[in-house]
Structure formats: C-alpha cells, structure tokens
Amino acid sequence: MIRIFIDSDACPVKDEVYRVAARYKLKVFVVSNRMIAVPDSPLVERIVVEHGPDVADDWIAEHALERDIVITSDIPLAARCVEKAAYVLEPKGRLLDESTIGMALAMRNLMTDLRSAGMMTPGGSGFGKADRSRFLSELDTLAVKAQKPKPRLFTMPPQ
C-alpha cells in the first residue's frame, strides 16, 4: 500500500493531503517534533518524534519506501527520499525526482554558503492560491501514478 509522509513543520497543505488520501484510501503519517492536530481518521497517524535537528527528517527517511509520497520543502530530506525511489512533492507543487534533485541541492547549498559569508539572499515567494492548486493537482496525479502496478521489464528468454 502506498503511503504519504508529511514533514509537517510549517506545512501549509496538510488539509489538501488529507482530502487526497481519503479519496484514494492512502495512509498518511504526519511527522513532527510537537503535538499537532490531525483528523480523527484511521488513515491518518500522528508521529511525534523527539526534539532535535533532523529527527523528524530521519524518521521519514527511514520509513519511506519506493513509490511512497513524501511532502516536504526540506531539500536534504527530499534527496534522501528520492534516493529510495519515493515521490517527493514540495508544498508549492514542484516534484523533486532524480532529474531535478541535483540542481535543487546545488542551489540550496549555494544559498547556504552565500548566507554564511554574510551576503543577503532573496527570500522565497509567498504561498498563494496558485501554489495550493498546483500542489493539489500534482498530488492527485502522484496518488494515481503511485498506485499503478510497477512496469515490468521484458527480457528475452535465452535461445
């Protein structure tokens, strides 16, 4: 069964995830280091991890499997999940996969280095209705795609 993992700290699209999960009967794990409200549903499980840097990320990376869906804006966590062949979706609707994660990591590292050197870097754009709509559309598409049987590679029998 395909599962959805939410890196729930400051995630603005939890309600959208709950709606899509209910539609496709997908289990959702809402992972955080503090108690947060979740719907009373057998499909939604709240996971509260210990406080500390990357503890929630580590829990998600350890539990996410191939074809699961991970919702996060944390690029290093996204890279760990892509490596495990999970689908990773940012709250603004950008899919991170093996073709995009390298550039996302490089940009994140560059911006971190610039900030460490004392340079002012532009902040991200705000979260709006178009982002929410794009996320919902992409998540719906991923839910359908993830549940399809994995394509088999055909090999010729020896002659």
pLDDT, tens digit (0-9, with 9 covering 90-100), for 128-142:
899 999 999 999 999
Domain regions of the chain by residue span: 3-147
| pLDDT top residue among 158 and 128 | 128
Instruction: Work out the pLDDT band at 121, boundaries 50, 70, 90.
Output: low
Residue 33 in contact with residue 10, Cβ under 8 Å?
no
Which pLDDT does position 147 carry in this prediction? 84
| Correct CATH for 3-147 of 1.20.120, 2.60.120, 1.10.150, 3.40.50 | 3.40.50
Predicted structure pTM score: 0.83
Which pLDDT does position 113 carry in this prediction? 63
% of residues, the chain, pLDDT over 90? 64
Look at residue 101 and tell me whether its pLDDT is greater than 90.
no
Q: What angle do CA 109, 56, 98 make, to 5 degrees?
A: 45
3-state secondary structure of 29: strand
Look at residue 143 and tell me whether its pLDDT is greater than 70.
yes
CB-based contacts of 53, cutoff 8 Å, min separation 6: none
Residue whose C-alpha is closest to residue 104's, from 79, 87, 82:
79
Mean pLDDT of the chain: 87
Residue whose C-alpha is closest to residue 21's, from 6, 7, 36:
6
